[in-house]
Amino acid sequence: MLSLQRLTLLDELDRRGTLAAVAQALSFAPSTVSEQLAQLEREAGVRLLEPVGRGVRLTADAHLLLGHARVAMAALETAESELAAARDTVAGVLRVATFQTVALSVLPAVLGELAARHPELRVDVAQREEAGATSGLQVGDFDVVLGEEYPGRPVPPSDRFDRVDLRGDRLRLATPSAGPWSDATTLAALAAASWALDPVGTAPGDWVRDLCRTAGFEPRVRFDGVDLITHVHLVRTGHAVTVLPDLLGEENTRGVRLLDLAGRPERTLFTLTRASRAGHPAILAFRDALAGAIGVGRERS
């Protein structure tokens, strides 16, 4: 009988890429991971790993084995969800990955609601960008991921994930309320402005850059980073312009002039969980609390 625990290690290696990364993620010694995978090879009776450079990679037989193992692991995760649903209380630890605007504007209300209704449920939150959050969900570091989808940039679907859309979130041009660029009424009027944007390779950063190119210019990005509160402060003090989502909230954008963009574009907010875990009561409770909090008092005309 093949060991499910050792199969899990093989799955982790396939997703994380190196024995060291697996060991770090699972708090094992690298030698322990190697020994366990060697034992799995003996159980399977075929070679599962082959050397490549200083590391290893999975063989064709390993990938064949993993295809069956993942079906079994998903079935066990579904069983765990059904057992949890049979309990009278929602309990345990829920690991959530989110991005900044949700953490600032919505998450406190969600945590308060869950603490009041499900005091035995502990929610651990990590702020992550999209790639790291989805990767963490895939390898089991997170149970729920909050995502964002920008116009014309659909997030590729996966049958491994269960996605629930929350709402649209308007994106607006942000300029100083006085001084340079404060009288601009169109995106093209800001061709010479200094911009504060998320980095290249992030969904919001790439989307705004493409928007500017469509308007006929390459944005002069003088401030590159993912902290929207810093972006707001730079705009408020007259040093930059940017694009901000409504979810950031009026309390976080005081002193900034917000203008509609052509077409009134919106990003779509959503949650992801592994499909085999979508029925877990902790995830259902979190999604319910989030849906309630994210729709209250956040729309601007």
CA dist., res. 231 & res. 226, Å (int): 8
Q: What is the pLDDT along the chain (301 residues), one digit of tens a residue?
A: 788 778 888 888 888 888 888 888 777 888 888 888 999 999 899 999 998 888 889 999 999 998 898 888 888 888 988 888 889 899 999 999 999 999 999 999 999 999 999 999 999 999 988 777 887 887 788 999 999 999 999 988 888 899 999 999 999 999 999 988 999 999 999 999 999 999 998 999 999 999 999 999 999 999 999 999 999 999 999 999 999 999 999 999 999 999 999 999 999 999 999 999 999 999 999 999 999 998 743 444 4
CA dist., res. 70 & res. 65, Å (int): 9
Give the three-class secondary structure for 192: coil
CA dist., res. 257 & res. 236, Å (int): 8
Contact (Cβ atoms closer than 8 angstroms) between residue 265 and residue 160:
no
Terminal CA-CA length for the chain: 62
CA dist., res. 47 & res. 56, Å (int): 12
HEC string of 179-210? CCCCCCCCCHHHCCCEEEECCCCCHHHHHHHH
Domains of the chain, CATH where assigned:
4-84 (1.10.10.10), 90-166+269-294 (3.40.190.10), 169-266 (3.40.190.10)
